[in-house]
Amino acid sequence: MKIFKSLFTVAIAGFVSISAMADKGKKAPQTLKVDTQASTFNWLGKKITGEHNGTINIQNGNLIVDGDKLTGGDFTIDINSIKVLDVKDADYNAKLVGHLKAPDFFDAAKYPTATFKITKALPKGGANYDIAGNLTINGVTQPISFPATVSIDKKGGASASAKFEVDRTKFGSKYASKSFFDAIGDKAIYDNFTVEVKLVAAKIGA
């Protein structure tokens, strides 16, 4: 019996030692800092009589990777940096930008930033992922999901790209929405706007 107990103790000790070595050899998840100059956030909004497009600056963000997999991340955009690219008349451009920053749309004075935080990153094979997370605009948080492509290089950098639609009315922006104003006619602005975002990130301090 004593011999059996001794062998059992040795076996357990060996298993624990091997497990510890395996854990020690495994790299911990890495948090990569988003390069705001290399990253982009584009938007496209449509109405009955046309459309407008532009950009918003990414203020900061992170991508979290575990080995060759994306596991999390977040980013913040600066609403006050919103630009309209398709309107060349300076006065009309400034008027439109001012309206987008007003409470009718994004209320930049009260809510100067919008954020997105990943809650789940599901690999779908190759560079393809299904991303789920919480989007906060105008102080309202809603869950959204969308497909994305992710690239993680051997030097520790990563990039993630996605194109998806956002229903502005879920975040309090009901201006000229036919969902709320039936008689608005051809002055209607569609509820959904399209977002195209690319995040480029690298190791902190790299």
Kindly state whether residue 149 falls inside one of the protein's structural domains: yes
Question: Does 10 fall in a domain?
Answer: no
Look at the chain and report how many structural domains it folds into: 1
What is the structure's pLDDT at 22? 41
pLDDT of residue 157: 94
Segment holding 194, helix H or strand E: strand 189-203
- Is the pLDDT reported for residue 39 higher than 50? yes
Q: Is the pTM of this model over 0.75?
A: yes
For residues 140 and 44, give the distance between their C-alpha atoms in angstroms, rounded to a whole number: 21
Q: What is the pLDDT of residue 21?
A: 43
State pLDDT tens for residues 9-34: 434 444 434 444 444 545 788 999 99
CATH of the domain at 90: 2.40.128.110
State how far the Cα of 78 lies from the Cα of 117, in Å rounded to an integer. 15
In which band, very low, low, confident or very high, does the pLDDT at 205 lie, cut at 50, 70 and 90?
A: low
Question: What percentage of the chain has pLDDT greater than the value 90?
Answer: 82
Give tens-digit pLDDT for 167-190: 999 999 999 999 999 889 999 999
Answer yes or no: is 2 within a domain. no
Residue 159 buriedness (CB in 10 A; 0-12 / 13-18 / 19+)? buried
| 11 occurs within a structural domain | no
> For residue 168, with 0-12 CB atoms within 10 Å meaning exposed, 13-18 middle and 19 or more buried, which class applies?
buried
Q: Is residue 12 part of a domain?
A: no
**Mean of pLDDT over the chain:** 90
Question: What is the extent of the structural domain holding 47?
Answer: 28-203
Q: Which tens digits make up the pLDDT trace of 97-150? A: 999 999 999 999 999 999 999 999 999 999 999 999 999 999 999 999 999 999
Q: How far apart are CA 40 and CA 24, in angstroms?
A: 37
Q: Which residue has the tokens 């935080």?
A: 117
Asked if residue 17 belongs to a domain, the reply is no
